Every structure is written in structure tokens, then in C-alpha cells.
Amino acid sequence: VKRGLLLQMLGGVHKRTREGMRLRGDINVCVVGDPGTAKSQFLKYVAGFLPRAVFTSGKASSAAGLTASVVKDDETGEFTIEAGALMLADHGVCCIDEFDKMDIVDQVAIHEAMEQQTISIAKAGIHATLNARCSILAAANPVGGRYDRRLTLRQNVAMSAPIMSRFDLFFVVLDDASETSDYNTARHIVSVHQLRDAAVTPPFGPAALRRFVRFARAIQPTLREDSARLLWQSYRNLRQDDAGTGRSAYRITVRQLESLIRLSEALARAHCADIITPDHVREAVRLLRRSIVHVEMDDIEVQADAEDAMDATSALEADEPEPTRAINIKRDDFERIRAMLAMHLHEASTRSEDDEGVRREDLVEWYLSQREDALADEEAFAREDQHARMVIKYMSTVEGC
């Protein structure tokens, strides 16, 4: 998380095309985590460290308070524009705590500020486009109070998909019980209460860090040919992984490619380098992959009775029917089998005019014929046959298909 905050303070390179279109170099970061994981402390430190930083709370902020509002002057009677938090943090960082507590209407108001970095106002006869060239550092709590590993990041956080795609980095801070980390955390907190400032001895002071950030932001790094080629390949691999599994935190879009470029530029600035090397790109890809929190789903457990056991090929040679037992199917295999069976059933229903349906034996036979190239031996064939029958049973008894 600290590395991501450093890259946010350094930022990428602002660019302007020949047509006058601006490409933002600011990096937006969102920290999601369990209660008591010091998310607000990150925001407080950044707000106190940078000269142009604004701290606000999402629960107490409205759309007008974040962007801008039009008010009537009591003395002159004319309408004037009052700047919001994003305008006041121009060329700085706007820290928004409790981002998940914001209303959806208020979240929509900062769409334009996060990507185009402008705020458009058309109220009371005033038409204006104001600059909001700032990075956004947000902190959010999961929906259920604690982060659920079995759900995706989008299901854990009350944010819309457009808002999530505008954040360059997501950091998930989990409060896992660990003897070593709990002991170190408790010892640090007690020493801070006991010794105050003497408990922490950082190698650099805030003044030295501010001078470093000011110097690094003046560097304008450029892409090398091999670094650009690595960026193309990394983006293609991220897209393929996203399309292949469907278990990522959010969809990989072109915005994530631009995030990779901004992170590479910020890493080059952190190393005071004028050229973006492949090492900088690899580190940017690693940071972005950390944002793609994979879902940890439980295996599917199906109770197999004696009839199912005798139907399976693995039990054909048994002298007696096997007793009732639970069969575990990996979540990936279950999703794959269910998707193939559902597709075949849908195609069969569209082809047939009557509602006779498909017999279970025909459905299993069709599935095994589709998978025969991937089955190496008879044992794998028998296991796939049994899994197909268990998935059909689960779909009919549990899901009601």
C-alpha cells in the first residue's frame, strides 16, 4: 500500500495531443479493507504530507461539495461559483474517506473529474468548465463489514463498474489472524503510547521526502522500444486471463493499459530515471495484478447415493453398491461442466418443438464426447463421468433446473 501511495504522489506524465486532448497522468488509488486496518491513517498522512491535499468524508460530502456549487451572493444578488474539494485539490490529492458510504448520485458526480479531470457546470445561467487536475485517494469498507474472500471485489464494495474502472490501483487490506503480525502490531502500538515520538525512528524526515517528491515530479521519463513491446504483451495477457477465467476483480479495459503506462512512469520517477525500462513495466504489472483479487470459492459437495455410485463407471466393477458419501467437485470444474450442460440443454430446447427434454444418459454421453480429447486414460474418463452425473443431480435438486 505504501508503494502505491508513493507512486500516486509522484504521478505519471501529463500529455497533450495535437488535437488538444489531455491525457491524465494522475494516479487514482482505492484502499478497501476490514475495520481497524488503518485505512484512514494512510489518508490522514497523505493529506498532511502534501502541500495541496484536501481530506473529506464520503458520508458527509455531497456532489456539490465535492465538485462545485452555484450560490447567490447576498449583497450583490449575483450568482457565483464556490469551489468544492476536487477543485481545491488541483495539482494535488483529494482524500475521500468512507467512499462506500456515498450515495450513488454523488459518486456519479465525480465520473468526469476522475477521467477528464474537469468539472462542467450549467446552473443559473452559468456555463463553465473548471479544472480538477487531482489524484483521488479513497478508502472504503466492505459491504458486509468484513471482506468476504468468496466474493469478487465488485460484490464486496458498494461501487458501480464505471467508478471502479477509473481507479488505477485497488489495495485490499485484510485483518487475518497471525501470531507474528499480531504480536508485532501490539508491540508497536504499546511502544507508541509509551514512548511517543521516540518509538519511531524513520531514516528520512518529512522535509527530505518532500524535496525528493518535488525533484522526482520534474523528471519526464520516456518509453523505450522494448518497454513498449512489453506493455503490449502484458496488456494482451491480462485480457486473455480476464476472458479465460472470469474470476477477476473487475474487467480489464483500455483504462488498465493507461494505468500501466502511468505506473511505469511513476516508477521511473521513483528511481530518478529518464527512461522507462522493462523492469519498471514488470513492477507496474505486478502491482496491477495485486489489484485483481481472485475469488476463493468453496468446492461443491454433492451427496452421492447408491444409484449414482453404481451409475458411475468407477463403480461398475464393485461387488456391492457403495454407501452414501459426499463427493467434492472443484469450483472451476463445476462451473465448466454446468456451463457446457446448460448450453447443450438450451440448444436442444430451441431445436425441439415439443417439451420432451433430454435424457440424463444422453446428456452425459454428449458431455463425454466433447471432453474425450482432454481425457488421458480410463480413470480420468470414469472421474469425468461421475462428476457430470453429480453436476446434473446438483442442478436438478439444488438449483431446480
Is residue 252 within 8 Å of 238, Cβ to Cβ?
yes
Q: Which amino acid is at 85?
A: A
Can you give the pLDDT at residue 355? 61
| DSSP secondary structure letter of residue 250 | S
What are the start-end ranges of the E strands in 216-343? 222-223, 275-276, 300-304, 325-329
Other C-beta atoms closer than 10 Å to the C-beta of 301 total 11
Give me the residues of the chain with pLDDT under 70, please: 242-251, 292-300, 304-325, 352-356, 398-401
- Count of alpha carbons within 13 Å of 299, Cβ hemisphere only? 10
Closest CA to 393 of 312, 328, 302, 321: 302
Q: Which residues of 142-180 are buried (b: 16+ CB within 10 A; e: fewer)?
A: beeeebeeebbbeebbbbeeebbbbbbbbbbbeeeeeee
- pLDDT score of 243: 62
pLDDT tens figures, 159-174: 877 888 888 888 888 8
pLDDT for res 277: 93
Contact status, residue 391 vs residue 341, Cβ threshold 8 Å: yes
Measure the CA–CA gap between 135 and 309, rounded to whole angstroms: 60
**pLDDT number for residue 227:** 93
- Between the alpha carbon of residue 90 and those of residues 31, 85, 307, the distances in Å are 21, 9, 70
Closest CA relative to residue 276, chosen from 231, 239, 209, 244: 231
Single pTM value for the model = 0.69
Give the tens place of pLDDT for each residue, 33-70. 888 888 889 999 999 998 889 998 877 777 778 888 88
- The residues that bridge with 118 in the sheet, in sequence order, are 131
Could you give the CA distance from residue 156 to residue 141 in angstroms, rounded to a whole number?
9
